[in-house]
Structure 1
């Protein structure tokens, strides 16, 4: 509910408007009265005024000057200017000061109520929009940690994000790291009694460990954390003042310790705090320094490798990643396991991106591992599994979609060489795509037949787009698009064509009058029927009858 302030140096005008009109009926709960601009300012400072109705010509401070104060200090207030003068200059000034209404005296009570009611409606809409926006902002703020974690998780898995898009995401999520900034990765694995907890209790413990890490590191470092796909807590660590140990450099903090030494010390304190306060054990692995964002995935994989090698099934360890990972002679196919995975692209039906994914995987294999039988086998089994999973989720056997020859892997012929794998992989993909597009086309053809059948059966009844959509259990826009895509014409054109063909047939019967034909076609207005018929056939129904009678 809203409050109104009426200002005029004529007391009779103020009292009449304030005391005699049914303000409550339009949502005004309180009406304040002022007989000068200074008095009005005092009232506005002491009360929450939503709508101001003021005269322009007043002694001392006039209404336009009062409006200037309102625009400076109460920007959301709605204003109506009253004046007994119709000079255009006043209207210009009112517009410049953003008055919402400009009314000339004398005005009727009905006009005053109508104008104020319009502003009340505008205030309600603004309030609803503001509350909706605030709810969205609050929900966004509440989900910020989760959204930040999801973005870091995607980067750890190798999701490719354009620099511009990544910068926008980092800014919106309030993550304090920029492209080119140095960082280190830290993995924390909860062990022993933590592994026995139920999901809810474990989530609480993970939250507590992450908070402990934030408190320990906050004076010297910034942490960006997430839970990775292996269940480890991953922290991207950046120095609060931009310092880092670059490849084992000797940058030091004010106490003479290297940045890396401080991270190691704080990590050890984290282990002690978890043991003391949460009665549990964690292993911590600290990775090497890298450059954001290009080194996120490689350094994460180095950390996982060191965790497997150096920690294994042991618990309570603190490990530092060494340089040995750079000398690994064999690596996995990176593009194969980068999100989105091949099986997910197939399920989405995005054939273009799926094609790009396959080509990217093949390029990597051909460039680096074409002579490695194991890598060729790895790719073959992964692709075959994705194709089979896709077929089964569509209720089909893979052999039904790509043919028995390509689906038969007896003897593993497709993976005997990189070249044979490539031929099998892309040939099978093309057949999968063709099969699904044929099914989609068949579904559209079936839908069109059902639409046409419904129209034919209900031609003289309700054949509106909404009625057809209700019958098809589809959205009207979707129905319209399917029909247009498959037939090349709009549903409305099809309905009109059938009606006009039926009209021509009925007009051939001399016993039926034109208005009777109109009613049989569902046109309640015979004049409208004549207009539609003439537009379609270029002759009126009567002229059409005459042509039939003359045989022309």
Structure 2
């Protein structure tokens, strides 16, 4: 959806066009309104405008002057000029400024929609053919292996995606794997002299091993690979299209596929030894269902590697469900991405609280009576809170208080209830402390903005000038000011100017045009119009009212 800016000094014309026409039907998502050239420039500075429709005859900055400014700074905006004067000189100047359309008033709603719709189609065509877009697509294609590997790593670590979101990512990465599809996990550990290589040489060897695996497994299987956080090569192994079609008797067929998988893994070990003069151990999981079993099979493989391979090399292990028989299991929600410390650093308090709730729910459901698990959760969360405090230049005790930050005696770990109270009380204090600091920063920024405006009121107080002074983006300046004061920055500037104008009108020696010039209005008539819109009386009427008040 595109964004449209309507500019006309006749407010009724702008409001009628903006509020009554079915813009969304022609691809316009947002319609901005401006009642002068200066207002239009402020909107252009703070919003991404695609199409601008402006009247020519306006006080102050006319439509052609506005168009010239737009062409200097926003060359891709489609500009449509409206005029009630069928003068060839206007058309000539409009053409010189690369105007998309030049329309004469009066114009019907249907014609307005038609012309803006044509501009939307032209923009869409340009967007589709834009070279930068093509470069992005090409870059994405070039980085597909890396992006695929990152997604697989997230799934191995337990990242939870909704079905729709995961399907979207798989489709974007051109992955031929779907939900409920059977898969096995192959874990390969580089050993011997391969593990002692420098980073560059090791990367080349890993690339070579992955290519070897693709060639060996291509007769019957498809591979999706990555390098995991432990430095192992992990492969999601699925059946090729032909093998899927042969899958008549599922149980017998999967047993045959498992045997073929072990044979090919053995061939991979031999190829690495023969061609790369190195050694690898390979672990093959049982079959699971994608994506539900990815993390479980990965954890089983790591467990088998630690327990059954250890420091030995060149082994081929078929992983059983050994972890399911273990009496004690690790916590899942505590270590699955996104990690607690990363959520804190991102400033996403809502997701951070959800993460804490999920950690505590798992702990309470499975390990409420395990003192070791309580201590593990406490110290992990304490470490995340401390790291966050230190990265913000604070001691944790300064943010949550000396009692909650005191680990002596491990009081929060004495029961599941005590730990719950400590977690969420500490979290809320941490959040409150940071929000107070953010609020103070915003208050200081607003004071600096107001001081600049007051000091330069009769000079340049444009949004860009304020943003340059604050070393901020104009959009950020507008949002901070609105968020903190509830008032638009442009309204604040206007209010100060009108208050100063009212004070200056009390001096009979000052003429209206002199006041206008001193307040930065080059066109006295435009000053009169702005003043009347603000006070509902003209400057002259305002003077008369002042005189009457003094006489009384």
TM-score bracket for this pair, using the shorter chain length:
0.7 to 0.9
Deviation at 1:372, TM superposition (A): 0.3
Q: Which position in structure 2 is the counterpart of 1:427?
A: 425
Matching residue within 253, 262, 265 for 2:263: 265
Q: Which position in structure 2 is the counterpart of 1:418?
A: 416
Whole-angstrom CA distance in 2 between matches of 1:177 and 1:127: 31
Whole-angstrom CA distance in 2 between matches of 1:425 and 1:126: 53
Whole-angstrom CA distance in 2 between matches of 1:547 and 1:137: 66
The answer to which of 514-523 and 201-210 deviates more is 514-523
Matching residue within 445, 454, 465 for 2:463: 465
Unpaired segments of 5 or more residues in structure 2?
A: 1-121
Cα distance per residue 1:460-497 (max 9 Å; x no partner) = 00101111111111111111111111111111111111
Whole-angstrom CA distance in 1 between matches of 2:285 and 2:394: 46
Q: Which position in structure 2 is the counterpart of 1:325?
A: 323
Deviation at 1:235, TM superposition (A): 0.6
8 A Cα contact 2:404 2:422, kept in partner: yes
Whole-angstrom CA distance in 1 between matches of 2:126 and 2:502: 55
Deviation at 1:130, TM superposition (A): 5.1
Q: What's the secondary structure of 1:293's corresponding residue?
A: coil
State the TM-score, normalizing by the size of structure 1: 0.74
Q: Which position in structure 1 is the counterpart of 2:98?
A: none
Matched, 1:346 2:344: yes
Q: Which position in structure 1 is the counterpart of 2:300?
A: 302
Map of 1:233-252 to 2, 5 A cutoff? 233-240=233-240, 241-242=243-244, 249-251=251-253
Matched, 1:372 2:374: no
Q: Which position in structure 2 is the counterpart of 1:279?
A: 277
Q: What's the secondary structure of 2:238's corresponding residue?
A: strand
Q: Which position in structure 1 is the counterpart of 2:524?
A: 526
The answer to which of 299-308 and 488-497 deviates more is 488-497
Matching residue within 383, 404, 419 for 1:385: 383
Q: What's the secondary structure of 1:443's corresponding residue?
A: helix
How large is the Cα RMSD of the aligned pairs? 2.1
Change (3 A) 1:546 1:133: closer
Whole-angstrom CA distance in 1 between matches of 2:134 and 2:517: 55
| Bigger Rg, which one | 1
Map of 1:84-103 to 2, 5 A cutoff? none
Change (3 A) 1:245 1:439: farther
Q: What's the secondary structure of 1:335's corresponding residue?
A: coil
Cα distance per residue 1:384-412 (max 9 Å; x no partner) = 00000000000100001101111111111
Q: Which position in structure 1 is the counterpart of 2:44?
A: none
8 A Cα contact 2:506 2:543, kept in partner: yes
Matched, 1:218 2:222: no
8 A Cα contact 1:244 1:289, kept in partner: no
Whole-angstrom CA distance in 1 between matches of 2:374 and 2:494: 60
Whole-angstrom CA distance in 2 between matches of 1:136 and 1:402: 46
8 A Cα contact 1:245 1:289, kept in partner: no
Whole-angstrom CA distance in 2 between matches of 1:545 and 1:133: 59
Whole-angstrom CA distance in 2 between matches of 1:333 and 1:128: 48
Whole-angstrom CA distance in 1 between matches of 2:150 and 2:336: 15
Q: Which position in structure 1 is the counterpart of 2:152?
A: 152
Q: What's the secondary structure of 2:334's corresponding residue?
A: helix
Per chain length, whose mean CA-contact separation is higher, i.e. which structure has more relative contact order (CA < 8 Å, sep 6+)? 2
Matching residue within 377, 398, 401 for 1:400: 398
State the TM-score, normalizing by the size of structure 2: 0.74
Q: Which position in structure 2 is the counterpart of 1:227?
A: 227
Matching residue within 504, 507, 524 for 1:506: 504
Cα distance per residue 1:247-277 (max 9 Å; x no partner) = x95327xxxx821111111111111110111
8 A Cα contact 2:482 2:488, kept in partner: yes
Map of 1:306-317 to 2, 5 A cutoff? 306-317=304-315
Q: Which position in structure 2 is the counterpart of 1:109?
A: none
Whole-angstrom CA distance in 2 between matches of 1:486 and 1:322: 59
Map of 1:150-189 to 2, 5 A cutoff? 150-189=150-189
Whole-angstrom CA distance in 2 between matches of 1:318 and 1:459: 78
8 A Cα contact 1:245 1:259, kept in partner: no
Structure 1 moving runs of 4+ over 6 Å: 243-246
Deviation at 1:206, TM superposition (A): 0.3
8 A Cα contact 2:283 2:319, kept in partner: yes
